[in-house]
Every structure is written in structure tokens, then in C-alpha cells.
Amino acid sequence: MVILAACKKSFLEVTPKGKLIAQKVADYDMLLNNLDLLNTSAGNHILMGDEIAASQPDFGALSVLTQRCFHWDDVLYEPGDDAAELTVPMRNIYTYNMIINNVMDAAEGTEQQKKSIRGEAVAGRAWTYFLLINYFGKPYSAATAATDLGFPIVRTADATETKFTRASVKEVYDFIVNDLVTAIPDLPLQVTSRLRMSKPAAEALLGKVYVFMGKYADAIPQFNAAITDAASSAIPVRLYDYNSTFAPGGAFTPIGFFGPPYPTTPKIEENIYAKQIFNAFAFSSAVTITPETVALYGASDLRLNFYSPYPFGGSSVYPDGMLRRVGPTVIQLGVVLPDLYLLRAECKARLNDLAGAKTDVETLRGNRMPAADAPVPAAIAADQVALTKFILEERIREFASEGYRWFDMRRLSIDDAYKSTVGYTHRVYDASGVTDSFTLKPQRLVLRFSPKIMAQNPGMTNND
């Protein structure tokens, strides 16, 4: 790759300053190994989950941006700031588009190799747009998606483009679905690298997109295919059994000051397709999970090994039993098996396949706690609404402090049956108890574009 020349910054002010020159199929293949495609950079949405609380005096020492995120403020960024939610994703879209539009004309390589590389880029673009529409578009509602403002759809790798128009939420979701449906037949069946897109990863992602569209019956076949195809991976793809990994001498022991010794991203066997953010709050005493979230865990739940009752470097416990997440310090937001099993369980429960839902959620729980404590209570397992809520709570238990909850809150907020499961209050604590609280406005389930973006695009409509 060669950087040729600087160019005028465009709408998002994040596209590369020049053109990337790739001539051979091998060049395009190497572009997909770019670590920018792995690191998504933004973790502000972790602070926006309803499972999060804040602790003083450390919270007051956090950056203004971090505090604004926790407050669910309308404006997060200063006028001159670049928005982290856009910087790397838009750079990645540039790279994906460059591959999509040019690899079929590249020198050397077979037609199958070219299609496979293009398929990876198309599916990678779909993942990136799914992230962006869940930052900047309203939750998908069939009744309003055609008129709700979404995100600009960019199909070319043109660093000089300066005018962009927001597509509707429906148009963006249709774009994502079409990308995945188009890519899947050309993708490799086996997972050979967690850093690269594969058929099971794209199938799982398509299923998740359908869940966020409320198309639960359409999602299940995709999840089924993903789980079946992942079983033939060339590298290990499996759920970790915490009963073994946290046993004496297990892979996640000894638990030290920075939490369990969790594997690095390329070696995480629960990963099918890796996308990651750094969890800076693992080194902060300011951010905890709420007392209500702590109460969701049973005493034998081995996921509690990823939490500490103490502030970073402190010896006095948090009030009301709150806990601080200590690991892993790198959060996986791509395609991971726990998410896949819980999403399939949720779909089955919503469609009244209670036995299938119970099996899926217990598959995960059996790997997170002693076998005697893994079964879903009988009264819950026999009730569709109760079981669905139990699965949604299991998602909190599995992913608390990792940013997943923000996206679940968005889709659940417009779900008449389960909107009551979304919390709208953030609380700040000190040793004496609650010192302050903040209320989430429904409008702030959608991020606003930063002042810098709006200044560059005065004709573009911002979110309310």
C-alpha cells in the first residue's frame, strides 16, 4: 500500500488522506489483515448501559466526555473534537469499499480467491454499518423505519467526496442484509483466523441483524447454520467451561490484581469474528455495575471472577455490594458464541419454542457455573414471557460492562412486551449512598452527530 497524496477532509473527516494502491490479489488479501479493521476504537456506549453505576470521588476525575456519556447528555463532544464512534468505522468502510470495487480486476489469483476476498469486505462493511446504524439511527421499527433518519450509505472509496445524505433506517438495514446475503455464498466455510470473516460469522451476523429488526423467525435458520458451520472450523471454536478454566490450575488462574489471565484476541476460542475495544474502565475505580445487576448473579456464578468489590488499588469495598469489572481488558464486540446462543434462545422463546430456548440458555449457563445451578427454574421455563425475560437477564449477566447492554436497550425500548426491562436512571454513589442521578430521555437512545460533523455539513439533519 502506498499513500499518494493528501486530500480535502470530507463529511466525516476520517477517510484516509489519499488513495491506497493495491494491484495484486495478495495485496487486497493483506488489506484485510489491517489491525484498524479489528479495533473499533469507541467504547463510550459502555457508560450508557443501564447496568452501569458510578462511584465518587473517582467519577468526578474522569474526562468530561466520559461524564457526559454517563449523564446521557445531548452533546458529547466539543466543537473541534472528532467523534470516536465515527473515526475508525468510516476509515474501515473506505478500505472495504476499495476492496469491493477493485479486487475482481486485480492481477493474479483465481476467480474464487477474488470472490472470497470481496465477500469478506462486503460482510465486514455490513458489520460496520450495523454498528453505525445502532449509534446514529433510531431502533428499527417496521412502522417508521422507512422515514426514520439513518446513516449515509457510502459505496465508493472516494476520499474527496464531501456531500453525504442520510439514508433511512430501513434503507441502511436493507443495505446490510443485502451485503450479507450477497457475501455468504462466497465466504470460506471454515474459520481459519478469528481476524477474518467466514461463512459462519456472516450467518451469525445476519441472524443478529434480523433480531434487531424484530424478524425472529428469519433469524433462527441463520443461527442454526452458523453453529453448524462453526463446528467444522480449522481452529478451536467453543464455549469456555468456567468450571474447568477457573478450577485450580485452570487456564484462567491464578486470578491476579488485573483479573483472570484471559487469552488475547486471536486466541479467544469463543470468538468467531473478532472486533474489539479496549476497556479502560478496568483500570478505573469510577465505573461499577449497579446493585440490581449484582443481584442477578447467583453466588456460584463463575462470571463473578471477572469482578472486584474493591476500587482499583483500594481496600474498602463499594457500597451496596457494587462490583467493578476487572477483565478482560479487551472487549469482544464482533461475533462471539455466547451472544449467538443467547440470541437464538431469545428467538426461540419469543416464538414459543420454550424447550429449545431452555436448552440454548442452559448450554451457556452450564459453562458458567456448576451443573447443579445451571438449569432454568421450572416455573420460569414453562412461561414464555418469564423465560424471555430470564434470557434477557442472562445477556446482562454474560455481558455486563462490555457495551452489549446499550444496543439491547435500544431494541427493547420499542418492544411493547419487554420495554419494561429497560432502565432509564443512572446513579452516582459514594460511601454514604446515592449522591446524584440522571435520567435517560428516549431521544438519547440515539447518538447525535458531533458539532464538528454538523459544522462541516450544515445541510444535514441531526438527531433530536
Q: What is the pLDDT of residue 15?
A: 43
CA 278 to chain centroid: 12
* Residues 6 or more apart whose Cβ sits within 8 Å of residue 267: none
CB-CB contact of 346 with 388 (8 Å): yes
Q: At 267, list the grid cell.
A: 486466541
Say how far apart CA 8 and CA 160 lie, in whole Å: 6
Q: What is the pLDDT of residue 174?
A: 98
Q: What is the pLDDT of residue 162?
A: 61
Q: What is the pLDDT of residue 14?
A: 46
The CA dihedral of 106, 109, 111, 116, to the nearest 10 degrees, is -90
Domains with residue ranges and CATH for the chain: 74-187 (1.25.40.390)
Say how far apart CA 84 and CA 95 lie, in whole Å: 18
Number of residues written out for the chain: 464
Q: What is the 3-state secondary structure (H, E, C) of the chain?
A: CCCCCCCCCCCCCCCCCCCCCCCEHHHHHHHCCCHHHCECCCCHHHHHCCCEEEECCHHHHCCHHHHHHHHCCCCCCCCCCCCHHHHHHHHHHHHHHHHHHHHHHCECCCHHHHHHHHHHHHHHHHHHHHHHHHHHCCCCCCCCCCCCEEEECCCCCCCCCCCCCEEEHHHHHHHHHHHHHHHHHHCCCCCCCCCCCCHHHHHHHHHHHHHHCCCHHHHHHHHHHHHHHHCCCCCCCCCCCHHHHCCCCCCCCCCECCECCCCCHHHCCCEEECCEEECHHHHCCCEEECHHHHCCCCCCCHHHHHEECCCCCCCCCCHHHCEEECCCCEEECCEEHHHHHHHHHHHHHHCCCHHHHHHHHHHHHCCCCCHHHCCCCHHHHCCHHHHHHHHHHHHHHHHCCCCHHHHHHHHHCCCCCCHHHCCCEEEEEECCEEEEEEECCHHHHCCCCCHHHHHHCCCCCCCC
Q: At 459, list the grid cell.
A: 445541510
Say what the pTM is. 0.94
Q: What is the pLDDT of residue 34?
A: 87
Q: What is the pLDDT of residue 459?
A: 83
Say how far apart CA 308 and CA 285 lie, in whole Å: 10
User: Cell match 484498524: residue?
Assistant: 36
Tens digit of each residue's pLDDT, the chain (464 residues): 222 223 334 454 444 444 556 889 999 999 999 888 998 878 999 999 999 999 999 999 999 999 999 999 999 999 999 999 999 999 999 999 999 999 999 999 999 999 999 999 999 999 999 999 999 999 999 999 999 999 999 998 876 666 778 999 999 999 999 999 999 999 999 999 999 999 999 999 999 999 999 999 999 999 999 999 999 999 999 999 999 999 999 999 999 888 999 999 999 999 999 999 988 887 889 999 999 999 999 999 999 999 999 998 888 999 999 999 998 989 999 999 999 999 999 999 999 999 999 999 999 999 999 999 999 999 999 999 999 999 999 999 999 999 999 999 999 999 999 999 999 999 999 999 999 999 999 999 999 999 999 998 888 999 99
Say how far apart CA 406 and CA 163 lie, in whole Å: 30
Q: What is the pLDDT of residue 258?
A: 84
Q: What is the pLDDT of residue 20?
A: 52
Residue 287 φ/ψ, nearest 5 degrees: -115, 125
Q: What is the pLDDT of residue 329?
A: 86
Q: What is the pLDDT of residue 257?
A: 84
Q: What is the pLDDT of residue 7?
A: 36
Identify which of 252, 255, 233 has the alpha carbon closest to the alpha carbon of residue 242: 252
Q: What is the pLDDT of residue 160?
A: 64
